[in-house]
Structure 1
Amino acid sequence: MVEFFSVPSIKDFAEPVNKDYKVFINGRECPVYDARSSAVPYNGYNDVGAAFQRPKNQSETAAFLRVTADEELRFSVEFAAAPADCPASVLTGAKKSLRTPAVVRPLEKNVSVKETGNRAEFTVTEAGTYIFEPYGRHCALHVFVDAPRVYDKEGATMYFGAGLHFTGVINVKSGDRIFLDNGALVYGSILAHDATDVKIYGNGVLDDSYEVRITPHCYEDYTKGNIRLYNCKNVSVEGIILRDSANWCFSMYECEDIFIDNVKIVGQWRYNTDGIDLMNCRRVNIENCFVRSFDDSICMKATEGFKGDVTDISVKNCTLWCDWGRTLEIGLETACDEYARISFENCYLVHNSAAALDVQGGNYARLHDISFKDMAVEFEYGALPEQMQTSSAEYDAKGGVMRPALIAVGNPAMIDMDMYKYLFTEEQLADPRRGTVENARFENIRVYLDEGVNMPASYVRSFYEGFEFKDIVIENVTVNGKRITAEKDLNLTIERVKNFSLK
């Protein structure tokens, strides 16, 4: 059985079909849709003209398709010699063409590609997310393969069938069941305050492209993003695709007992479009998801404006692509007593920016009992360097390349950073406390470097006397299959750490 995701057209308004790709699966043509993504790593605010709105010419058109199948899938992909919508600013120096030998990521999936001109063939044998890249990291084709699953649509309190729906903000109350059926494209946001026993599920798309961001930060609900939950309990979100958020894509504040499964986040290109943010949350499970974000991909935060610690969080079996910032992150905001029992397991990090595996105690919390285990981390050649946009000037890489960190553990104080000081009172700015990290493990980390890529840096360091880290273990790191046992080979910096071990 093979079933395609397809949005029925409506007169005078049709979901645009992607121009770069034509895809056949087991001999049948599969619909391919647009998912606008960031073309250059240029984040911040445009303070000239339309405040908080990112110019569209900093983005490019990527593509996605979704297929449900219980059999082997044979792909035949026709792709343009050059992508139709990619800004000239990504063509730097001597690189006048984006065309590269095509690959399918994650690399560990071992999907071989046979190319003939501008046609490629490959076979997928199991469910998961696959990314076909004939232009390097630009204008990629995201392939979502799901195993067959039967949802209980009869129990839905809000049902969105195949077709286009213009809802605006969907306000959720306790007991709601929101179902997006196969072929449903819902233009709107989901917002909940103080709701319990909620389910958001299905195979449809929730698209936030009509929302305009109106505030500089992302904590309040003036701008909703795709999904925003405040003080909610017992919520599950399963199966849906989230696209084109106005700021943080899927964010939760003071929430408990949250289950997120098989959610796909794609088409995030506007300023600060984090993937999944947990703010002062407890007992959250995130699994089998794909996140491509233009800022931190999955992030756990705590700020002065919300209450409660960050505890008992599990992230596993996810595929992640970070176009800016940090891929798996604890922090930077850590204004609570403790972060505890947080685990990341069996994830593929296919593209990274500032850092891949990140723990940053930016406030005063004690961060402890943290693990990153069984991670496959990829670093590609020629990634463009991050820059902050503070004017209308266009992005200019100036011949530079991005050098992401592999492992980053630190405690840079937010109150010492000019860009964050507006968030704090005078009393908070005078707070002498700093964050600490204890009992953190990085185990079975498999690194894949493209040809010509140097070993990324790693660091475990406290910046402050009297706030030392302790009991940090890095065990079984391999780089292109070779095990690393020396600090110099890991390009590792260690400062103010008690009981550090590299095995």
Structure 2
Amino acid sequence: MFIFIRVLAFLLACLQLPPALAQAMPDRLQVHPFPNPVRYTHHNDDFTVRVRTPGGVWQDLYEYKVKVDLDNPQMASMVYFNFNGTVELAVQKNNGIFSQVRVRPEGKGVKPVVKDGIAYFTLRRPENLSVEFDDDHLHNLHVFTHAIRDDMPAVPANLNSNDIGTAQLPDLTQKTVFFGPGIHSGEFRLRSHTTVYIHGSAILKNPLILEGVEDVKVYSDGLFDGVDMTTIRNARNIEIDGPIFINQPHGTMRCITSQDVTERSIRSIGAGQWSDGLGHFACERVTIADSFIRTSDDCLTFYNHRWDIWGNTRDVKVSGSTLWADIAHAVMIGIHGNTPTPQHPQSEVLERLRFSDIDILDHDEDDPEYEGALGIMAGDDNLVRDVVFEDIRVDRIEEGKLFNLKIAYTAKYNTSPGLGIENVTLRNIHYTGKGSPSASAITGHDAQRKVRNITIDNVTVGGKRITGPEAGVLELNQFVDGIHYR
């Protein structure tokens, strides 16, 4: 019976069942002590955050400093923990008074209650959230949670921060690799047929390298701190679940010419230059789910040829995720590809990309040529086709467009225009209208390089459905064929 209950709890957490069913799970909480060497260097005192199971003892969380927004760099906060069932949080703002607090994405239905200056709210399943006082997006609190992993290797039950320092590098030649509590440095080059566990009290100071490998699984409750670009290259059958990335100098993860890749529960907050979140070059059969990506460049990218990379992008599925672009785009597709040459005569294709159940908290792009929270910019003879965006909620656009479908020929990035954009559906997309958006756009390049067969189905801006071109809402040019409004 005990085994059955634990299996049921795990399945309920994975399936993200409604709160009424999730309440049947046993309430369990797992808080990860921080390594003692970061006690004073990484702490942000803007908030005091505590968590407990209902009626249990409050436990303090360590509030990490996380840099956000390269346009105006500020230090926000982040806490993380694991749980099953139900937990309660208490968030105390330590500097100044406030008049209101909200938890985003608002579609998650998390409603704080303020009592004696402290905001309380309840979680009934793991979520990744932003807690904001008086709409302050630059000094907010990020709350990252995950279901408890019963297969994580055990450590002493009474572990505390004073016990955790610099850790010894694990033996990466073993089939099972465990990064235990502590700070880890070194080259983390993984081998094929390996399962990697990263404890919640582990901080890694270097990236994982998965190059030329297959059948690798990484299960992480821990942190990557100040690490540039975990890389998956020429690999297949890769699963990465749970890591949290903070303060990276550039991007978070890069997938290159790889197949059958799952990126699940990736949590990232970055404000470095060129700090793309999850970048993909010529990868096939990629699944991204249940992630929270806040960047000062594109959150998710899908490209083909660039540098020494060649190939096509196919069969991408993104779902259940939150995207926050302090600068640039939530999604960018297709700007890099292969302009045919005698050495490389084939143009490239990006096809069968699906994006569903996504919250976009903000989009800010100051350059009109590149605007678009949802961007398809087909350049370098790329053909982009069979793309679906559906069930997407956009909270705010500081500056930019809701969507931009464009045959691109930019002086900065391209050596030729894109070949075309075909068969794109935008369905059940709702933007509040907050911020200062410009009109969405669909633009071909010329009579040979067009945008064709676009369906706009129940797309609203400020509650008003898009039913055709309209000043300030949607602009088209003459090189667009077949727009269908529903």
Relative to the length of structure 1, the TM-score reads 0.78
Residue of structure 2 in register with 1:276 after alignment: 278
- Aligned residues with identical type, % of pairs: 21
Q: 2:91 aligns with which of 56, 62, 77?
A: 77
Structure 1 window deviating more from structure 2 (147-156 vs 281-290): it is: 147-156
For the 8 Å contact 2:400–2:436, the answer to whether it is kept is: no
| Higher RCO (CA-CA < 8 Å; seq separation 6+) | 1
For the 8 Å contact 2:29–2:84, the answer to whether it is kept is: no
Residue of structure 2 in register with 1:160 after alignment: 179
How far apart in 1 are the matches of 2:255 and 2:38? 36
Residue of structure 1 in register with 2:74 after alignment: 60
C-alpha RMSD over aligned residues: 2.5
Deviations, residues 320-377 of structure 1 (Å, cap 9, x unaligned): 1111111011122133421110110111111222321111112111110001011011
Relative distance call for 1:101 and 1:456 in structure 2 (3 A) is: farther
Residue of structure 2 in register with 1:312 after alignment: 315
Q: How does 1:94-493 map to 2 (within 5 A)?
A: 101-115=100-114, 118-134=117-133, 135-151=135-151, 153=153, 157-165=176-184, 167-209=185-227, 225-266=228-269, 268-304=270-306, 305-335=308-338, 336-354=347-365, 355-379=372-396, 402-414=398-410, 417=411, 419-420=412-413, 429=415, 434-450=418-434, 453=435, 456-488=438-470, 491-493=473-475
Relative distance call for 1:201 and 1:377 in structure 2 (3 A) is: same
Residue of structure 1 in register with 2:62 after alignment: 32
Paired residues, number: 420
For the 8 Å contact 1:170–1:191, the answer to whether it is kept is: yes
**Moved segments of 4+, more than 4 Å:** 11-15, 152-156
Give, as a single letter, the amino acid of the residue that structure 1 aligns with 2:407.
N
Deviations, residues 416-474 of structure 1 (Å, cap 9, x unaligned): x1x347xxxxxxx4x5x533100000000021234xx4564211111334211110111
Deviations, residues 30-52 of structure 1 (Å, cap 9, x unaligned): 313324223452xxxxxxxxxxx
For the 8 Å contact 2:401–2:437, the answer to whether it is kept is: no
CA offset at residue 79 of structure 1?
0.8
Deviations, residues 280-331 of structure 1 (Å, cap 9, x unaligned): 1111111111111110001101125212210011111111111111101112
Relative distance call for 1:117 and 1:329 in structure 2 (3 A) is: farther
Relative distance call for 1:111 and 1:13 in structure 2 (3 A) is: closer
Relative distance call for 1:323 and 1:447 in structure 2 (3 A) is: same
Q: 2:46 aligns with which of 20, 36, 41?
A: 20
Structure 1 window deviating more from structure 2 (488-497 vs 319-328): it is: 488-497
Residue of structure 2 in register with 1:386 after alignment: none
How far apart in 2 are the matches of 1:11 and 1:338? 48
Return 5+ residue gaps in structure 1 as ranges: 42-57, 83-96, 210-224, 381-401, 422-428
For the 8 Å contact 1:17–1:31, the answer to whether it is kept is: no
User: 1:108 is paired with a residue of what secondary structure?
Assistant: helix
Residue of structure 1 in register with 2:159 after alignment: none
User: 1:126 is paired with a residue of what secondary structure?
Assistant: coil
For the 8 Å contact 1:487–1:502, the answer to whether it is kept is: no
CA offset at residue 18 of structure 1?
2.1
Return 5+ residue gaps in structure 2 as ranges: 1-26, 155-173, 339-346, 366-371
Residue of structure 1 in register with 2:481 after alignment: 498
User: 1:137 is paired with a residue of what secondary structure?
Assistant: coil
CA offset at residue 494 of structure 1?
1.0
Relative to the length of structure 2, the TM-score reads 0.80
